[in-house]
C-alpha cells in the first residue's frame, strides 16, 4: 500500500493566475464563498493504494463519471476553517487539529476512510502557502478553507465506495451576514435537521441538503437563518442551518444545547465555552425549549442570544419568528457578552492576544 503519510505534494502552478487588478478588487469586497483562489489540493484514496498522489494544482473543474457514487448516494463530508494573517505578515490556522478530528469522526459515520491527521494538516498548509496572496487585508478578512471528501467510485450498487477523492479549495472571506448587526431567525416547525441515531453530528453534505428547504422558508419569511428544533419532541432548540446557538441570562450565565449526536460539535462553540469559563462565567450545556426562550426573552430574564461558527464568527440574534409567534431579544442589537467573547476570540485567532490554550497554528 502506497499510503501517503507521503507528505510530498507535487506542485503544478496555475499557468494563468488571476490578475493583480482583479485580485485587489476581489479582496476589497470578498463577501462569502463567491471567489475561488488559483489552486486546489487533490489527494486520492483507494482501498488498494490507501491515500496517494497528493497534489497542489490549478483550480479547475473536475471530470467525473455520471455513475460516480457521490452523485447518487451522497457519500460526502467536508470541513470549514479559516487562515488568518498575523500581525508580522505570517499566517495561521485556528485549531486545525480539531477540524482534522471532526473530519475523521464524520468519515467514520459515513463509512468513509479516515485520513491521517498529519496529511490533513499538511494539505491545509500547502493550500495556504500556494494562495496566501488571497488572504484579504480588510478588517475581519480571512481565507476560508474548504476541505472535503467524496465517493469517487464509478458504481451504482449501494455500498460504501472503495475509491474516494479528497480536495481542498479556498475562498477569500469577509462577513457572512453582510451589513447585519444582528440576525432574525425563523423557527422551523415542519422540518427538522437530524434525528437521534442520524447524521446530525457529522459534517456531511446530506445534512445541508436536508436543511435547504427550511432555510429557503426562512428567507421567504424575511429571516436570515433557520433555527431547528429537535426531531422527537419538536420543542428543544438545536442549532441553526450553519451555526450553533448560545443564550446569555440576566445573572450573566451562558447556556447552549448539549452535544447529543443531533447537532454539529462546533469548534467555535467549544472555544467560546472555554473562553467564558476562563472568564469565570457560569456555562451550562443543557436543553432549552423554544417556549422557555420566548418566555425568558419577554420577561427580560434572557439578555442575549447569539449564533456562532467559523463563517458567522459570533453574530447576535435580535428576533425570532415562527408560524404564530414573534419575539425580540434585548434591544435587538449586538449584545455586550457576545461582543466581548467575539473580540476575545478574534484577538487570539489573529495573533493579537496571548494564546493560553495553544489554539493558533502558525504556518509561516
d(CA 64, CA 240): 32
Q: Does 225 bind ligand PLP (CB under 6 A)?
A: no
Cell digits for 207? Answer: 445534512
Q: Does 330 bind ligand PLP (CB under 6 A)?
A: no
Q: What is the DSSP string of 15-47?
A: SSPPPHHHHHHHHHS-TTT----SEEEEEEEET
Q: Does 266 bind ligand PLP (CB under 6 A)?
A: yes
Three-class HEC string of 47-86: CCCEEEEEEEEECCCCCCCCCECHHHHCCEEECCEEEEEC
Q: Using the structure block, give the residue that is written with the C-alpha cell 462546533.
A: 266
Q: Does 268 bind ligand PLP (CB under 6 A)?
A: yes
Nearer to ligand COI, 152 or 310 (CB): 310
Q: Does 77 bind ligand PLP (CB under 6 A)?
A: no
Q: Which sign does the torsion angle of CA 124, 127, 131, 136 carry?
A: negative
- Taking CB under 6 A as the binding criterion, the range among 35-43, 67-75, 121-129, 309-317 that sits at the site for ligand COI is 309-317
Alpha helical stretches, state H, 179-255: 205-220
334: β partners? none
d(CA 49, CA 51): 6
**Least Å distance between CB 81 and ligand COI?**
7
Selection from ligand PLP, ligand COI, none that 269 binds (CB < 5 to 8 A by kind) is ligand PLP
**Least Å distance between CB 144 and ligand COI?**
7
Nearer to ligand PLP, 141 or 266 (CB): 266
User: Which of 209, 241, 203 is CA-nearest to residue 102?
Assistant: 203
Residue 133 DSSP one-character state: G
Selection from ligand PLP, ligand COI, none that 266 binds (CB < 5 to 8 A by kind) is ligand PLP
Q: How many residues bind ligand PLP (CB under 6 A)?
A: 12
Residue nearest to ligand COI (CB): 80
Contact 173, 141 (CB under 8 A): yes
Q: Does 318 bind ligand COI (CB under 6 A)?
A: no
Q: Out of 310, 315, 316, 349, which residue is the one contacting ligand COI (CB under 6 A)? A: 310
- x/- map, 275-314, ligand PLP, by CB under 6 A: ----------------------------------xx----
Q: Which residues contact 286 (CB under 8 A, 6 or more apart)?
A: 255, 257, 258
**Least Å distance between CB 34 and ligand PLP?**
18
**Least Å distance between CB 96 and ligand PLP?**
11
Q: Out of 172, 242, 330, 334, which residue is the one contacting ligand PLP (CB under 6 A)? A: 242
Q: Does 345 bind ligand PLP (CB under 6 A)?
A: no
**Least Å distance between CB 78 and ligand COI?**
7
Q: How many residues bind ligand COI (CB under 6 A)?
A: 5
Q: Out of 135, 243, 314, 337, which residue is the one contacting ligand PLP (CB under 6 A)? A: 243
Q: Does 75 bind ligand PLP (CB under 6 A)?
A: no
Question: Binding to ligand COI (CB under 6 A): which residues in 225-254?
Answer: 242
d(CA 360, CA 351): 8
Helix axes 267-278, 336-349, angle to 10 degrees: 110
Buried b (16+ CB within 10 A) or exposed e, 57-87: bebeeeeeeeebbbeebebbbbbbbbbbbbe
Cell digits for 339? Answer: 461582543
Selection from ligand PLP, ligand COI, none that 227 binds (CB < 5 to 8 A by kind) is none
Q: Which residues contact 340 (CB under 8 A, 6 or more apart)?
A: none
Selection from ligand COI, ligand PLP, none that 244 binds (CB < 5 to 8 A by kind) is ligand PLP
Q: Does 315 bind ligand PLP (CB under 6 A)?
A: no
d(CA 101, CA 131): 24
Q: Does 297 bind ligand COI (CB under 6 A)?
A: no
- The residues binding ligand PLP (CB under 6 A) are 80, 239, 242-244, 264, 266-269, 309-310
Amino acid at each position: 500500500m502506497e499510503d501517503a503519510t507521503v507528505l510530498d505534494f507535487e506542485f503544478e502552478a496555475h499557468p494563468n493566475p488571476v490578475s493583480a487588478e482583479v485580485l485587489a478588487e476581489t479582496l476589497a469586497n470578498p463577501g462569502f464563498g463567491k471567489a475561488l483562489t488559483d489552486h486546489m489540493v487533490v489527494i486520492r484514496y483507494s482501498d488498494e493504494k490507501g491515500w496517494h498522489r497528493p497534489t497542489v494544482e490549478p483550480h479547475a473543474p473536475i471530470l467525473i463519471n455520471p455513475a460516480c457514487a457521490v452523485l447518487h448516494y451522497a457519500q460526502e463530508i467536508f470541513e470549514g476553517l479559516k487562515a488568518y494573517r498575523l500581525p508580522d505578515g505570517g499566517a495561521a490556522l485556528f485549531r486545525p487539529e480539531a477540524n482534522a478530528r471532526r473530519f475523521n469522526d464524520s468519515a467514520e459515520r459515513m463509512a468513509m476512510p479516515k485520513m491521517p491527521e498529519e496529511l490533513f494538516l499538511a494539505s491545509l498548509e500547502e493550500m495556504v502557502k500556494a494562495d496566501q496572496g488571497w488572504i484579504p487585508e480588510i478588517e475581519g478578512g480571512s481565507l476560508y478553507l474548504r476541505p472535503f471528501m467524496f465517493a469517487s467510485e464509478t458504481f451504482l450498487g449501494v455500498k460504501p465506495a472503495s475509491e474516494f477523492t479528497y480536495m481542498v479549495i479556498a475562498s477569500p472571506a469577509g462577513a457572512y451576514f453582510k451589513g447585519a448587526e444582528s440576525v432574525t431567525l425563523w423557527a422551523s416547525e415542519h422540518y427538522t435537521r437530524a434525528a437521534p441515531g442520524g447524521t446530525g453530528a457529522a459534517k456531511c453534505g446530506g445534512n445541508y441538503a436536508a436543511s435547504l428547504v427550511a432555510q429557503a422558508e426562512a428567507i421567504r419569511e424575511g429571516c436570515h437563518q433557520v433555527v431547528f428544533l429537535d426531531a422527537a419532541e419538536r420543542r428543544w432548540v438545536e442549532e441553526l442551518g450553519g451555526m450553533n446557538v448560545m443564550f446569555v441570562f440576566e445573572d450573566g450565565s451562558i447556556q447552549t444545547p448539549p452535544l447529543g449526536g443531533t447537532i454539529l460539535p462546533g469548534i467555535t462553540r467549544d472555544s467560546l465555552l472555554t473562553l467564558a469559563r476562563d472568564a469565570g462565567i457560569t456555562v451550562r450545556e443543557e436543553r432549552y425549549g423554544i417556549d422557555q426562550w420566548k418566555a425568558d426573552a419577554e420577561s427580560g430574564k434572557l439578555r442575549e442570544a447569539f449564533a456562532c461558527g467559523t463563517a458567522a464568527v459570533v453574530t447576535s440574534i435580535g428576533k425570532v419568528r415562527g408560524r404564530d409567534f414573534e419575539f425580540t431579544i434585548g434591544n435587538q442589537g449586538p449584545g455586550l457578552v457576545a461582543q466581548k467573547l467575539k473580540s476575545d476570540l478574534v484577538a487570539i485567532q489573529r495573533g493579537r492576544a496571548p494564546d493560553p490554550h495553544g489554539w493558533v497554528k502558525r504556518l509561516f
